[in-house]
A and B are shown apart, each in its own frame.
Chain A
Amino acid sequence: MVQEKRILYEHLDVPNINTFDVFRQHDGYTRFEKAIAEYQPEEIADMVKEAGLKGRGGAGFSTGEKWSFVPRDIEPRYLCCNADESEPGTFSNRYVLEKNPHLLIEGILICCYAMGIETTYIYIRGEFTLGKKMLDAAIKEAYEQGYLGENVRDTGLNINIYSHPGAGAYICGEETGLIESLEGKRGQPRNKPPFPAVQGVFMKPTVVQNVETLCNLPFIVGNGVEWYTQMGPTYGDARFDPPKADPNTGTKLYCISGDVNEPGVYELELGLTCTELIEVAGGLRGEEVKAVIPGGSSAPILTQYELDTRLDFTSLTLAKSMLGSGGIIVMNETRNIVDCLLNIMKFYAHESCGQCTPCRWGTPWVRDIVQRIADGEGRQTTITRPKFGITESGRWGDTGETEEIYEDLDLLENVANNIANVDTMTWNTICVFGIAVSWPAVSYMRKFRPEFEAAIRESKLVTLPVAEATVPPEENYAYQQRIIPKEMVDLE
């Protein structure tokens, strides 16, 4: 049985950990003090790079590498903490904000020290009213205790934190959409390049980091790189020659919901399989697993054949899915995949910011097609092709082979792929929202095609048994892309 490995959440259940005094009793701010006393700013940036910390917000981009893109000669630079946790199925950041906000502040202090940043904006999701309240109280306390403000703890550092509530748009969790919203504009992502590291908030170099990423910094500094890299697997990425180390170090706050007995946030080492994770969450509720969404609603779905996939950045990328924000949704045999897709597509059609053409008009179109299929109005044609052979009457003649054409399924796949092509991983949209729409649409449809076909054929939603509903691996294009054995070289 896999045990939880609580690092970020270690003191989460300590009463009043949200107050400065209690936090201080549990090593609070000692890591920041250690950073200032023992390391130069550049050394901390190097430590983060060596530790192999990857952004926990969704893209999984190396944090150290991101920091190295920030030009250090342009003043001012900004840190922008992304607390706009809005991916469906994800709810790990809110516990940090509501229960242990000082940990985030300490992470921000270390990042500010490492990057020479004086101003931090925390863009907090508008719905997190309690989180904002707790965070603001913690910021106030930190100011009072001299950990924020002018000349922090007589070190000569000036660090200020401002928290800013969002207004409830999903797209403001995208880093440039967040920056636009923070600047007081309509929350619409920017064209990249320039990336925020070069031109971000107010067109100045900006580090945008997720809450969870920043919360990892105190532990990397406090316990050292070696301690940190022991957690989680490191793969060799064979796409490079020689294979480049692709670390998946540290822990991840997995938000497990859906058909498990004990849903919730579990902090676990990276690299566990889906099966292990379901076990940790009290086991499956129901007979068998039908599907697992591994990283928030925008991640491609995993079937029962893929439950041995390790839930880390590299493995899921190679499985043509993604770890994303770590929002894992488990579905048992009672769930109808068409209905699930409709639910997700309704969300995305509603949340498309409407800036660029393919997403603005493609996303509602995809939703409408799925809606039509779910309503039992999907289109289907039976084509009879002449084929010569022995007919039923035992004579040589036209056997009249028929083929079922599901136009709406082809249309659905085509339209989704026109927004963002999941096979080539290219998108015509400005931001990655496009791929966040077409990934679920195409993967659900390809991996659970029988259920979609049944809905069209029977003119109503039909929930098939798991084995019938799932396309076996050898028939599915998406599975063929799983090249884990070839490409992953065990460095050890």
Chain B
Amino acid sequence: MAFIKLNDLEIEVEDGTNIVEAAREHDIEVPHYCYHPGLSRPANCRMCLVEPYGPIPGAPPGTIGPARQLATGCTLTVRSAPPERKLEEKFDAIIRTDSDRVIKAREDILEFLLVHHPLDCPVCDQAGECDLQDFSYRHGHDKSRYLEVKNVPPKKDLGPDVLLYSTRCIVCTRCIRFCDEVSGSGELGLINRGSHDEIDIPRSHEGTPIQLLDNKLAGNVVDICPVGALISKDFLFKSRPWFMEKANSICTGCSVGCNVTVEYKTDGLYRIKPRFHGDINQHWMCDDGRLGYHYVNSDDRLQLPQKRVEEELVTTQWADALTLISDNLSEVEADDIVVIGSAQGTNEDNYVLQQFAHDVLKTTQLGLFGQVPGEEHKFPQFTIEADKNPNTAGARTILGSANGNVVLEDDALWEKVAGAKVVYLVSGCPERPLKDTEKDALEKVEFLIVQDVLPSEVTQLADVVLPGTTFAEKDGTFTNSSGWVQRIRKAIDPPGEAQADWEITQQLAKRLGGEIDYHFAGEIAIAIAENVEGYGDATHQNIGDAGIKLT
């Protein structure tokens, strides 16, 4: 640990911490653009200048004063020094971030940053969450002394989801370093020189792109752009950032379990941005997850239960649907019922489902349903996993947690389904194509109950369809492939009369005389903590925003 004096604070920081981070920990703002904690540090924006103190050359020993040159806070790291090199006999470093020189340097740099920056904040997507706006307001001048003509480099289409407004670019090179270091694909680079610097993709002499910015992590460059230069086409002109509310959640795109922030208004989700987690996704997420939220806002969402009348699915009331199901369920033997949980569902959904199967239906035949595995993508600092479900690990453990429960998957499951009379299938998967074997098996079932969010091939075969909810509409926890249990939070209300999956299961249980009675997801998590091995600490309170790792 290094003991440093930062302004008037005397603080201890880890060896090797840079001043920007050390100051951030103590709520001192050191403005910066090019520095990003997840990338290398070129120190090219010169915004984070701080004033280090040290011995003055030529002065009597022990005299300490400000260094001749200011240093960049992002590259200036502190380390514990040997006793003879301590300043004022106890500090490893003395740094000021509030001296007159520092304040003037910030003003000067901001003035330079703004000479070519257009005044298009009113139509810029970034306005409201723009570092240039914020720092100009807090550290900059109130007027410009620049009279000359501004550079107007062209607007560019870089790839499937990324637009570049070159005029707004401050050439911090975060995006270039991201493509070099994190995605390893290196599509972006600087063209031209000096004040004509432009970010661009490789192009032929005629200007046609040779390589588009189309890697699976490309969306991150929009997040890390400190100004409104890189813009997501998906979010372009949709909403002002300050009109949206935010909920911390987990990405459901694959089993990595990236921490995300869901931004929403009452009419649906607007975008998903990654949230830092040091052990899982760092600062990043993939575009599949980022752009995969659109099904939540879909107009086709199931809003009411449906039942099959003369080969057609027609909407009905909850009471009617539940009665129909309970009638059918009570007629068959326990061995002829298969209950299938979802790897898209939360631990809570699956816990109530397995309780329903084990305690009420007295069946031990459980299955696990989820998305079809996709491709694995490995990047230098990021992995997209093949398993496209957020909670495979959790669902598997929780469904099999009660005595004698067997969790069937894949071929074994579909064999079992083919011989069953009643199947209760919780899907929750958007766009899940069915393989022939799966389709054949489901067609043989006498009475198929499907709980889903969108009409799909599965609901086409169902006798009763119950409207469930997506990750954005319920509370709960997911367990990722590396054993982290993490919270998702309800952001928006479910469409129509759709209900959280565990609520539907609980109502069914009550109809059949079961004694399952939970009031909110946190209560189920406590039950999980008590009853499921390994989940002892996994209550919602303990998990918080950081998640906990199963031992």
Please give, as numbers and ranges, the residues of chain A lying within 8 Å of B147 by CB-CB distance: 372
CA distance A427 to B108 in the complex (A): 12
CA distance A239 to B57 in the complex (A): 10
B170 at the interface (CB under 8 A from A): yes
Q: Which of A11-19, A30-38, A361-369 contacts B (4 or more CB under 8 A)?
A: A361-369
B143 at the interface (CB under 8 A from A): no
B47 at the interface (CB under 8 A from A): yes
Structural contact, B194 and A356, CB atoms closer than 8 A: no
Structural contact, A353 and B193, CB atoms closer than 8 A: yes
Please give, as numbers and ranges, the residues of chain A lying within 8 Å of B112 by CB-CB distance: 357-358, 360-362, 365, 418
Q: Which residues of B, 117-148, contact A by the 8 Å Cβ criterion?
A: 145-148
Tell me the smallest distance from the CB of A373 to a CB of chain B, in Å: 12
Tell me the smallest distance from the CB of B74 to a CB of chain A, in Å: 10
Known: A353-B194, A357-B109. A429 touches B46 (CB 8 A): yes
Known: A191-B72, A425-B68. A357 touches B195 (CB 8 A): no
CA distance A28 to B69 in the complex (A): 45
Contact of A358 (CB < 8 Å), options: B58, B68, B109, B194: B109
Please give, as numbers and ranges, the residues of chain B lying within 8 Å of A273 by CB-CB distance: none
Contact of B45 (CB < 8 Å), options: A239, A350, A357, A369: A357
Known: A356-B44, A360-B171. A365 touches B148 (CB 8 A): yes
A467 at the interface (CB under 8 A from B): no
Structural contact, B70 and A428, CB atoms closer than 8 A: yes
Residue interface mask B37-70, A partner, CB < 8 A = 1: 0000011111101000000001000000000111
Q: Which residues of B, 196-238, contact A by the 8 Å Cβ criterion?
A: 196-197
Contact of A191 (CB < 8 Å), options: B47, B75, B190: B75
CA distance A350 to B195 in the complex (A): 8
CA distance A425 to B69 in the complex (A): 9
Which residue of the partner chain B has the closest CB to A424? B68
Known: A352-B195, A357-B113, A426-B68. A239 touches B44 (CB 8 A): no
Contact of B108 (CB < 8 Å), options: A239, A240, A424, A428: A428
CA distance A369 to B145 in the complex (A): 11
Residue interface mask B500-544, A partner, CB < 8 A = 1: 000000000000000000000000000000000000000000000
Structural contact, B145 and A411, CB atoms closer than 8 A: yes
Structural contact, B190 and A354, CB atoms closer than 8 A: yes
A241 at the interface (CB under 8 A from B): yes
A309 at the interface (CB under 8 A from B): no
- Describe B's contact surface by its main secondary structure: loop
CA distance A453 to B193 in the complex (A): 33
Please give, as numbers and ranges, the residues of chain B lying within 8 Å of A363 by CB-CB distance: 194-195
Residue interface mask B174-199, A partner, CB < 8 A = 1: 00000000000000001011111100
Interface band, chain A: 35 or more
Contact of A356 (CB < 8 Å), options: B46, B145, B148: B46
Structural contact, B145 and A354, CB atoms closer than 8 A: no
Tell me the smallest distance from the CB of B46 to a CB of chain A, in Å: 5
Structural contact, B193 and A349, CB atoms closer than 8 A: no
Please give, as numbers and ranges, the residues of chain B lying within 8 Å of A241 by CB-CB distance: 58
Please give, as numbers and ranges, the residues of chain A lying within 8 Å of B146 by CB-CB distance: 365
A478 at the interface (CB under 8 A from B): no
Structural contact, B70 and A361, CB atoms closer than 8 A: no
Tell me the smallest distance from the CB of A156 to a CB of chain B, in Å: 40
Structural contact, A361 and B113, CB atoms closer than 8 A: yes
Structural contact, A186 and B190, CB atoms closer than 8 A: yes
Please give, as numbers and ranges, the residues of chain B lying within 8 Å of A275 by CB-CB distance: none
Residue interface mask B143-167, A partner, CB < 8 A = 1: 0011110000000000000000000
CA distance A240 to B58 in the complex (A): 6
A50 at the interface (CB under 8 A from B): no
Known: A418-B112, A426-B69. A351 touches B194 (CB 8 A): yes
Please give, as numbers and ranges, the residues of chain A lying within 8 Å of B75 by CB-CB distance: 191
CA distance A169 to B147 in the complex (A): 29
Structural contact, A352 and B68, CB atoms closer than 8 A: no
B280 at the interface (CB under 8 A from A): no
Contact of B148 (CB < 8 Å), options: A368, A426, A428: A368
A355 at the interface (CB under 8 A from B): yes
Please give, as numbers and ranges, the residues of chain B lying within 8 Å of A355 by CB-CB distance: 42, 44
Interface residue tally for chain B (C-beta within 8 Å): 34
A152 at the interface (CB under 8 A from B): no
Known: A411-B145, A425-B68, A427-B69. A360 touches B108 (CB 8 A): no
B406 at the interface (CB under 8 A from A): no
CA distance A429 to B112 in the complex (A): 12
Which residue of the partner chain A has the closest CB to B110? A357
B115 at the interface (CB under 8 A from A): yes
Q: Which of B42, B109, B116, B194 has the most CB of A within 10 A?
A: B194
Known: A191-B42, A191-B75, A428-B70. A364 touches B194 (CB 8 A): yes
Structural contact, B194 and A430, CB atoms closer than 8 A: no
CA distance A387 to B115 in the complex (A): 39
Tell me the smallest distance from the CB of A246 to a CB of chain B, in Å: 14
Residue interface mask A404-422, B partner, CB < 8 A = 1: 0000000100010010000
Structural contact, B43 and A191, CB atoms closer than 8 A: yes
B548 at the interface (CB under 8 A from A): no
Tell me the smallest distance from the CB of B414 to a CB of chain A, in Å: 56
Structural contact, B193 and A357, CB atoms closer than 8 A: no
CA distance A169 to B109 in the complex (A): 25
Residue interface mask B321-351, A partner, CB < 8 A = 1: 0000000000000000000000000000000
CA distance A191 to B77 in the complex (A): 14
Tell me the smallest distance from the CB of B499 to a CB of chain A, in Å: 54
CA distance A467 to B425 in the complex (A): 98
B287 at the interface (CB under 8 A from A): no
Which residue of the partner chain B has the closest CB to A410? B145
Q: Which residues of B, 64-109, contact A by the 8 Å Cβ criterion?
A: 68-70, 72, 75, 105, 108-109
Q: Which residues of A, 328-376, contact B by the 8 Å Cβ criterion?
A: 349-358, 360-365, 368-369, 372
Which residue of the partner chain A has the closest CB to B146? A365
CA distance A427 to B49 in the complex (A): 11
B111 at the interface (CB under 8 A from A): yes
Tell me the smallest distance from the CB of A356 to a CB of chain B, in Å: 5
Identify 14 residue pairs between A and B in the complex whose beta-carbon atoms are under 8 Å apart, listed by A's number: A191-B43, A349-B194, A354-B171, A354-B197, A356-B44, A357-B112, A361-B195, A365-B112, A415-B145, A418-B111, A418-B112, A426-B68, A428-B109, A430-B44
Question: Lowest 9 CB-CB distances: which A-B pairs, in order?
Answer: A418-B108, A352-B194, A354-B197, A368-B148, A354-B194, A364-B195, A361-B112, A356-B44, A191-B43
In addition to A357-B112, A360-B197, 6 A-B residue pairs with Cβ atoms within 8 Å of each other are: A191-B42, A353-B193, A353-B194, A354-B193, A357-B44, A365-B148
